[in-house]
Amino acid sequence: MPAFESEGTRNLYWIQKVYRAAQAYYEVTKPRIQIMLLFTELCAMMVAHRGLPEFRITSAALLGLALSSGGSAALNMWYDRDIDAMMERTHKRPLPSGSITALEVLLFGLSLISLAFLVLYVWVNPLTAILAMLGAFYYVVIYTMWLKRRTPQNIVIGGGAGAFPPLIGWAAVTGHIELPALIMFAVIFMWTPPHFWSLALYRSDDYARAGIPMMPVARGARKTKKQSVLYAICLLLTSSLLYFTHTVSALYLVIAGAVGLLFITLTIFTLFESDTTFVWAKRTFAYSLLYLPLLFIFMIVSAAI
């Protein structure tokens, strides 16, 4: 510890130290992705309840998911610290930049996940606790540890982890998993490949440097673009299925059709640009981040009217 000139500089030193540590712990939970995961959970709860469920269930279910997915994200960062250090996009993360130690992140991730189990089991119901643990296992063990470094199908199979929140939200309100929740799961499952591959197209050098067999690296840009179009088509069809469960009105079908067609169109446009220009790939990625909240908002709106 440095020598301090006065009490004031000592206090400032500690305030800065605590602030940096808090920022590092916050960053390892991948907070921006959490917002989307929590939003899809909340929407599923509202569709299941046809309005906002009781405050205790809503807040505990949101807290439980935030803890389980934040803890899983920390374990992903712990396991991937070697490859994160090699990639332009991720080399400034708390672990590669040395602002936190690997052991601290490991313990933090495991503690958050254990706390999540407790919160969901006690304040929501055992099914949501089990689903959150399955989601965490899927993301950390199946995606991060097993598939990510082995196969270009990594995000197709592993992407299922990010699709758990609607199942958790639905189970929190109803106590079971029903068809509409499974369709919401399938929507996020189909959305993940075009969401991620559009970004991977213009980040493929990063993945190649780290030796990760993401689709554009392992199979090339053309194949990645064609597969994205196919998944965007499947996404439109899957999202339409919700209408036939009688949980949402015809308005949803119209909106899902419109936003889905736009997604397909953008993925098709990527086919017409050269494999070294990424204007449409970047637009597709940006649109993927708008598509999901829009679709889920219209699920709530059309379930309520």
Ligand X SMILES: CC(C)=CCC/C(C)=C/CC/C(C)=C/COP(=O)(O)OP(=O)(O)O
* Residue nearer to ligand HEM on the CB measure, 215 or 233: 215
Token look-up 């490859």 returns 83
x/- map, 118-147, ligand HEM, by CB under 6 A: -------------------------x----
Q: Which residue in 201, 257, 208, 199 sits closest to 232, CA to CA?
A: 257
Q: How far is the CB of 283 from ligand HEM (least distance, A)?
A: 15
E strand residue ranges, 72-173:
none
Stretch that binds ligand HEM, among 34-42, 57-65, 95-103, 245-253 (CB under 6 A): 34-42
Cβ neighbors of 244 (< 8 A, separation 6 or more) are: none
CA distance 22 to 96: 16
Q: Which is nearer to ligand X, 181 or 255 (CB)?
A: 181
Residue (of 121, 103, 123) closest to 113 by Cα position: 121
Among 12, 15, 22, 33, binds ligand HEM (CB under 6 A): 33
**∠ CA(128), CA(129), CA(131), 5° rounding?**
60
Q: How far is the CB of 90 from ligand HEM (least distance, A)?
A: 7
Judged by CB under 6 A, the residue of 79, 108, 185, 196 near ligand HEM is 196
Classify 13 in phi/psi space as left (phi over 0), alpha (psi -120 to 50) or beta: alpha
Least distance to ligand X, CB of residue 180, Å: 18
Q: How far is the CB of 122 from ligand X (least distance, A)?
A: 17
46 vs 50: CA distance, rounded Å: 5
Q: Which residues bind ligand X (CB under 6 A)?
A: 30, 33, 68-69, 72-73, 76, 80, 90, 132, 135-136, 139, 144, 161-162, 164-165
